[in-house]
């Protein structure tokens, strides 16, 4: 997506050679027009997959996932990062490290909302090492649901996450792939 590349070049900040700050686009502020375009693009790429639900991890993946779910005409389900008082005690959960946040959290999905009859499209904002993706994939597998593929807004191709998922035979579609952040410059694949 050329529009997304242009916006990244104009608005993103490189914090280190491994970390790109996208707060103005994805992680803190959301541009509804751009978000809808991204969601429509994922819906287009997975249109033939008979998706019954779009799934993501709370919270930065929610806007783009919502846009894709709306376009596909299916529900959006997100894995929670915090357990609430009314959480399903039988929820499917996985412990996952976050590369960007530098913490380990539990993600959970209620068995009520993810079942063996579902064919899901997993969408996330950024993939680095793929730890959150692997955790959610385990939850999807344990639910019996079928994973149609993964849509990633920004893939940092210089880190192993996207590549490792593809090597497992999972379809991964990235809107933008970044080859490097070296020297304070964003280089796209």
Our CA angle for 134, 1, 50, nearest 5°, is 55
pLDDT, tens only, 121-158: 999 999 999 999 999 999 999 999 999 999 999 999 99
Q: How high is the pLDDT of residue 83?
A: 67
Residue 119: domain span: 2-188
Q: Give the C-alpha separation, 88 to 71, whole Å.
A: 29
Question: What pLDDT score was predicted for residue 90?
Answer: 80
Better-predicted residue by pLDDT, 103 or 112: 112
Residue 87 has a pLDDT of 66
DSSP assignment, residue 166? H
Q: State pTM to two decimals.
A: 0.93
* Reported confidence tier of residue 85, pLDDT bands at 50, 70, 90: low
The answer to whether residue 118 scores a pLDDT higher than 90 is yes
- CATH for 146: 3.40.50.2020
- How many separate helices (H) and strands (E) can be counted in the chain? 5, 10
Average pLDDT value over all residues in the chain: 93
Considering its fold, how many domains does the chain have in total?
A: 1
- pLDDT, position 105: 87
User: How confident is the model over 101-118, as a mean pLDDT?
Assistant: 91
The answer to whether 99 and 129 are in contact (CB under 8 A) is: yes
Strand partners, 174: 152
**If you write DSSP's letter for every residue of 70-81 in order, what string do you get?**
HHHT--EEEEBS
Burial class of residue 167 in the structure, from the number of CB atoms within 10 Å of its CB (0-12 exposed, 13-18 middle, 19+ buried) = exposed
Residue 72: what pLDDT? 98
Q: State residue 19 phi and psi, 5-degree precision.
A: -120, 125
Q: Residue 84 has what pLDDT?
A: 64
Angle between helices 62-72 and 32-45 (to 10 degrees): 50
Q: Rounded to the nearest 10 degrees, how much is the dihedral formed by the CA atoms of 45, 48, 52, 53?
A: -10
């Amino acid at each position: 997506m050329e529009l997304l590349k242009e916006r990244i070049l104009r608005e993103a900040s490189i914090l280190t050679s491994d970390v790109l700050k996208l707060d103005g686009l994805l992680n803190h502020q959301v541009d509804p027009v751009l978000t809808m375009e991204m969601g429509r693009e994922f819906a287009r790429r997975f249109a033939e997959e008979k998706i019954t639900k779009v799934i993501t991890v709370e919270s930065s993946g929610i806007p783009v996932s919502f846009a894709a779910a709306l376009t596909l005409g299916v529900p959006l389900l997100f894995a929670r990062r915090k357990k609430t008082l009314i959480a399903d005690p039988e929820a499917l959960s996985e412990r996952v490290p976050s590369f960007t946040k530098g913490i380990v959290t539990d993600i959970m999905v209620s068995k009520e909302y993810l079942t063996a009859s579902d064919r899901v499209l997993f969408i996330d904002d950024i993939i680095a090492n793929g730890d959150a993706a692997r955790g959610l994939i385990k939850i999807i597998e344990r639910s019996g649901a079928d994973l149609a593929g993964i849509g990633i807004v920004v893939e940092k191709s210089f880190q192993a996450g996207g590549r490792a998922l593809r090597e497992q035979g999972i379809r991964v579609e990235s809107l933008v792939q970044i080859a490097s952040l070296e020297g304070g410059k964003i280089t796209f694949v």
